[in-house]
């Protein structure tokens, strides 16, 4: 699970577990791992000792959202971080696995900067299986059983092309300790029809096709399974672009209508597609949208256009208003912004940040961070292909960036100055309107996580006692984590 205000499940580990179970393997998923390792380490060690045996092939760690890993400390010391400073007690666990279960491989899953840093730091890790892994994990197991030597970094440049994603089954098993009415992730499509230059996700620029979009029947079966076994009607839709086609949305609607239930969901939305296909506004409302993540990046048109977001400032402001008018205030709109894009200067960024501060665009929350470009030396060290890196990662110098020990720089910014600018403006937003924009409990997909704590949507939207509410959230988070631990160690 992610370390949000209230824990909420992510899809990676469960998707692989479901896939392996379909091929006859026994898989146990332990979620909330970092919290358990910190607060119940001896229980965890004992549990693993009892269950890891001669037939255990590997212990895997899903790391994309392992948020307590201290990346900043790692970067400042240039890789000299003590293991105890990263994930508490992780080093001890690695040592136990290596010394007491040498026949069992330690495998890392995930992609991106953080996963690479964990891989570098913990030399006990045998393999890193990168990215989409349905094909590569089966191949890994076959070779492992046959005693065939394999590289430490395993990349599938074919992006699980043999896996039948379109007809894939339910992600969660009754063995996965899912609570009743829990908010769950669901993967409806893979990849993105767009190719933003800062994005490092796989399958960028792919055409909408049946290969990468699940069938109505497949969705119907998973939604029905989750409702029947867990009572789930609240979802985090994990598609890179949920509204990539109107037909895709209609297929989801038909699957929901067949079950005869109402669902609510949060998803990533492209505003330019709604502008091109205005019928999507009504469809998204009818199938239960409760939150939308809008990757705006910049309100300086030359910058947003340079990275693949050419919708424009005026169109963006108008579309946000149209969404609010159609969906109402109960749907939360989150805008994501990035500092340091090509052509952006401190002056142009200040101008549109002041626009945000005046609330001239009707967003409910924002996030703002510096552009991240993968260090070139690190890119060479841990990559055997370019599948999982952005255009900027690969060709930063062609876009006016240079890379050094302190990150990137261009004509107007350094990575540090861009991050300091973002932090300064987030502080200003909070000072002028503490219940708006960067308020953490209502930011991005965090409101959906609060539903797992037993909060009602109306309560999340309208609470006027933020400190009392935050204290209640902390209490509910601890209750949920303790319930989860009890379930894990008794089942």
Q: Are 448 and 8 in contact (CB under 8 A)?
A: yes
The answer to whether residue 68 is domain-embedded is: yes
Residue 477 has what pLDDT?
93
What DSSP string describes 311-333? Answer: S-HHHHHHHHHHHHHHH-TTSEE
Range of the domain at 92: 32-162
Rounded Cα gap, residues 104 and 463, in angstroms: 49
Q: Are 178 and 230 in contact (CB under 8 A)?
A: yes
DSSP 265: E
The residue ranges of DSSP E strands in 150-286, in sequence order, are 153-155, 184-186, 234-237, 264-269
Same domain, 184 and 158: no
Percent share of the chain, pLDDT over 90:
70
pLDDT tens track for 272-317: 999 999 999 999 999 999 999 999 999 999 999 999 999 999 999 9
Backbone angles phi, psi at 281, to 5 degrees: -55, -50
How many domains is the chain partitioned into structurally?
2
Residue 113 has what pLDDT?
67
Same domain, 158 and 179: no
The answer to whether residue 491 is domain-embedded is: no
Residue 231 has what pLDDT?
97
Backbone angles phi, psi at 430, to 5 degrees: -70, -35
The residue ranges of DSSP E strands in 298-420, in sequence order, are 332-339, 365-370, 402-404, 407-409
Return the CATH number at 385. Answer: 3.80.30.20
More confident residue, 181 or 69: 181
Residue of 405, 316, 414 whose CA lies nearest to 371: 414
Secondary element (H or E) of residue 353? helix 346-357
Same domain, 289 and 406: yes
Same domain, 181 and 156: no
Same domain, 357 and 259: yes
Q: What band does 465 get if pLDDT is binned at 50, 70 and 90?
A: low
Residue 76 has what pLDDT?
42
Rounded Cα gap, residues 130 and 311, in angstroms: 33
Same domain, 197 and 157: no
At residue 200, does pLDDT exceed 50?
A: yes
**pTM confidence score:** 0.91
The answer to whether residue 437 is domain-embedded is: yes
Residue 286 has what pLDDT?
97
The answer to whether residue 475 is domain-embedded is: no
- Report the interhelical angle of 41-51 vs 90-100 (nearest 10°): 20
Residue 2 has what pLDDT?
54
DSSP 180: T
pLDDT tens track for 317-365: 999 999 999 999 999 999 999 999 999 999 999 999 999 999 899 998 8
Q: Please tell me which of 125-134, 251-260, 402-411 the model is most confident about, judged by mean pLDDT.
A: 251-260
Residue 439 has what pLDDT?
57
* Structure-block tokens of residue 191: 């990849």
Same domain, 307 and 433: yes
The answer to whether residue 141 is domain-embedded is: yes
SS3 content of the chain, % helix, strand, coil (to 5): 45, 15, 40
The answer to whether residue 6 is domain-embedded is: no
Return the CATH number at 42. Answer: 3.40.50
pLDDT tens track for 35-81: 899 899 999 999 999 999 999 999 999 988 775 554 444 444 434 44
The answer to whether residue 3 is domain-embedded is: no
Same domain, 129 and 275: no
Classify 415 in phi/psi space as left (phi over 0), alpha (psi -120 to 50) or beta. Answer: alpha
At residue 476, does pLDDT exceed 90?
A: yes
Same domain, 129 and 198: no
Same domain, 151 and 179: no
Q: Are 311 and 320 in contact (CB under 8 A)?
A: no
Same domain, 150 and 185: no
pLDDT tens track for 419-446: 999 999 998 888 776 555 555 677 788 8
Same domain, 282 and 156: no
Q: What band does 110 get if pLDDT is binned at 50, 70 and 90?
A: confident
The answer to whether residue 189 is domain-embedded is: yes
Last residue of a domain, one of 138, 162, 186: 162
């Amino acid at each position: 699970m992610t370390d949000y205000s209230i824990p909420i499940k992510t899809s990676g580990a469960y998707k692989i577990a479901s896939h392996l179970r379909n091929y006859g393997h026994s898989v146990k998923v332990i979620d909330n791992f970092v919290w358990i390792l910190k607060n119940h380490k001896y229980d965890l060690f004992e549990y693993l000792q009892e269950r890891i045996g001669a037939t255990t092939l590997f212990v895997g760690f899903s790391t994309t959202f392992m948020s307590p890993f201290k990346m900043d400390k790692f970067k400042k010391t240039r890789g000299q971080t003590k293991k105890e400073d990263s994930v508490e007690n992780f080093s001890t666990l690695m040592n136990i696995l290596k010394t007491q279960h040498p026949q069992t491989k330690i495998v890392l899953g995930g992609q991106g900067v953080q996963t690479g840093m964990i891989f570098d730091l913990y030399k006990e890790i045998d393999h890193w299986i990168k990215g989409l892994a349905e094909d590569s994990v089966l191949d890994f197991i076959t070779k492992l059983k046959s005693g065939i030597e394999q590289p430490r970094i395993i990349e599938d440049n074919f992006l699980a092309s043999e896996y039948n994603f379109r007809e894939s089954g339910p992600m969660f098993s009754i063995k996965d300790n899912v609570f009743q009415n829990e908010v769950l992730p669901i993967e409806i499509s893979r990849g993105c029809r767009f190719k933003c230059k800062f994005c490092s996700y796989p399958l960028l620029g792919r055409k909408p096709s049946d290969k990468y979009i699940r069938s109505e029947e497949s969705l119907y079966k998973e939604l029905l399974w989750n409702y029947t076994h867990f009572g789930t009607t609240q979802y985090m839709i994990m598609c890179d672009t949920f509204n990539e086609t109107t037909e895709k949305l209609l297929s989801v609607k038909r699957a929901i209508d067949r079950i005869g239930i109402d669902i609510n969901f949060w998803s990533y939305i492209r505003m330019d597609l709604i502008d091109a296909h205005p019928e999507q506004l009504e469809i998204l409302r009818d199938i239960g949208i409760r939150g939308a993540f809008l990757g705006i990046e910049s309100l300086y048109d030359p910058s947003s256009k340079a990275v693949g977001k050419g919708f424009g400032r005026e169109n963006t402001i108008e579309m946000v208003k149209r969404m609010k008018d159609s969906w109402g205030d109960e749907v939360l709109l989150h805008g994501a912004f990035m500092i340091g894009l090509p052509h952006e200067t401190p002056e142009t960024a200040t101008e549109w940040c002041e626009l945000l501060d005046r609330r001239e665009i009707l967003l409910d929350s924002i996030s703002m961070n510096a552009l991240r470009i993968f260090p070139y030396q690190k890119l060479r060290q841990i990559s055997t292909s370019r599948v999982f890196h952005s255009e900027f990662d690969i060709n930063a110098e062609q876009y006016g960036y240079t890379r050094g020990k302190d990150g990137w720089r261009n004509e107007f910014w350094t990575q540090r100055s861009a991050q300091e600018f973002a932090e300064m403006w987030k502080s200003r937003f909070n000072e002028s309107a503490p219940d708006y924009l960067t308020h953490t409990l209502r930011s991005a997909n965090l409101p959906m996580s609060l539903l797992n704590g037993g909060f009602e949507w109306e309560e999340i939207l309208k609470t006027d006692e933020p400190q009392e509410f935050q204290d209640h959230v902390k209490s509910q988070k601890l209750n949920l984590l303790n319930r989860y631990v009890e379930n894990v160690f008794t089942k």
